[in-house]
Amino acid sequence: MKRADDLDVAGRTVLVRADLNVPMDGAAITDDGRIRASLPTLRNLVSRGAKVVVCAHLGRPKGDGYAERAAGGPSLAPVAARLAELLGRPVPLAADVAGESARARAAGLAGGQVAMLENVRFELGETSDEDAEREVLAGRLAELADAYVGDGFGAMHRKHASVYDLPRLLPHAAGQLVLAELSVLRQLTTDPPRPYVVVLGGAKASDKLPVIGSLTRIADRLLIGGGMAYTFLAAQGHQVGDSLLEADQIPQVSAVLAEAASAGVEVVLPVDHVVADHVGADASAEVVAGPDVPAGKIALDIGPLTQELFTRKLADAKTVFWNGPPGVFEFPAFADGTRAVTGAISAVTGLTVVGGGDSAAAVRLLGFPDDAFTHISTGGGASLEYLEGAALPGLTALEAP
């Protein structure tokens, strides 16, 4: 795979597909980690005299056409403003993705300057299942630039126009973020130091079953929390009250548990819970001893005994991969489990990888420094699919000559 350093960029227009899909509260960015992660590649290109056009998506715009999606948003305007602050230089935002405003912005750049396109998902062709529709948008984007740098690892698992089709139309290379993510993920899949402990949380068991199946062939221990844990507990015959449950996934979960047992992989599930009668910041927390959740109660965090158990199971680890918080950490009453797990992982002397998304947000919200971990991924779903052994369309495109 060609690296961005291998491209001749001085005086040339380089379109950088970044992953700037940051969490927002209205127009306010609540975690700028992905913007910060894009800085090394952007600064490198700027320092070499490139004219940089940043392409990214934000959220999931709704609507049947460009105008409807653009009217409903979200706009990348707050992201462009934050990127400008971090780069210390203006980052003007085009009023469209690949139209008149985008062409004017790109054409008006001088070497060392940066501009941003509006949310690429305003264009229906970006996410279309039809090859021809994606290729039309890719062609319009290609007209803006002389070269392409793929640096949005969090979108690499998407067969989207700006990720998969566009690099085939321009000289292309991988940015520093993509190369860093790949380096870490290869360490997780190629003879990792042991014990290798994987911590999985999040809402749905169905989202993680494929990666769990793959991890049973390489990990030593799986710690499972979050909403997904209750489908696992139900598969073992426990009562889960009104907790999140994917009843239709119980057979698949049972099969995964059997596969783990056969492979000698230890699966650790919650042994107590913090529950409430509804989900909300005003919910009253109550600790329930034992693995069963009473009727009418919703488990929203792992209990104190589980926090101690997970901490012990992480204490001897030499490699840790964590994806998904064990509780609803956004609400202080249900954040202790995530805080305990984060602290235990940060204390590990070895390779510690935080798998993006809500896990990365939890690290920052709970006040842990980024450098307490070997690597905080921007990948989320892309990281999981890589660990599953799936081919990522964006990487396939970058690897092509």
| Known catalytic residue at 381 | yes
- Long-range pairs for 393-396 at CB < 8 Å and ≥24 separation? 393/156, 393/157, 393/158, 393/159, 393/160, 393/163, 393/164, 394/150, 394/152, 394/153, 394/155, 394/156, 394/157, 394/158, 394/163, 394/164, 394/167, 395/1, 395/156, 395/178, 395/182, 396/164
Residues 6 or more apart whose Cβ sits within 8 Å of residue 146? 12, 13, 14, 170, 171
Residues 6 or more apart whose Cβ sits within 8 Å of residue 154? 19, 21, 34, 356, 378, 379, 380, 381, 382
- 266: three-class secondary structure by DSSP: strand
The residue from 150, 175, 337, 357 that is catalytic is 357
| Known catalytic residue at 213 | no
pTM summary value: 0.91
Task: Please report, in tens digits, the pLDDT of each residue of the chain (401 residues total).
Answer: 999 999 999 999 999 999 999 999 899 998 899 999 999 999 999 999 999 999 999 999 999 999 999 999 999 999 999 999 999 999 999 999 999 999 999 999 999 999 999 999 999 999 999 999 999 999 999 999 999 999 999 999 999 999 999 999 999 999 999 999 999 999 999 999 999 999 999 888 998 898 898 998 899 999 999 999 999 999 999 999 999 999 999 999 999 999 999 999 999 999 999 999 999 999 999 999 999 999 999 999 999 999 999 999 999 999 999 999 999 999 999 999 999 999 999 999 999 999 877 898 899 999 999 999 999 998 888 988 999 889 999 999 999 99
The residue from 17, 33, 34, 379 that is catalytic is 34
* Predicted pLDDT at 355: 87
| Known catalytic residue at 357 | yes
The residue from 2, 36, 194, 204 that is catalytic is 204
* Predicted pLDDT at 357: 77
| Known catalytic residue at 204 | yes
* Predicted pLDDT at 380: 80
DSSP notation for 222-237: EEE-STTHHHHHHHTT
Cα separation, 206 vs 386, in Å, equals: 17
* Predicted pLDDT at 196: 97
pLDDT in tens, 115-131: 999 999 999 999 999 99
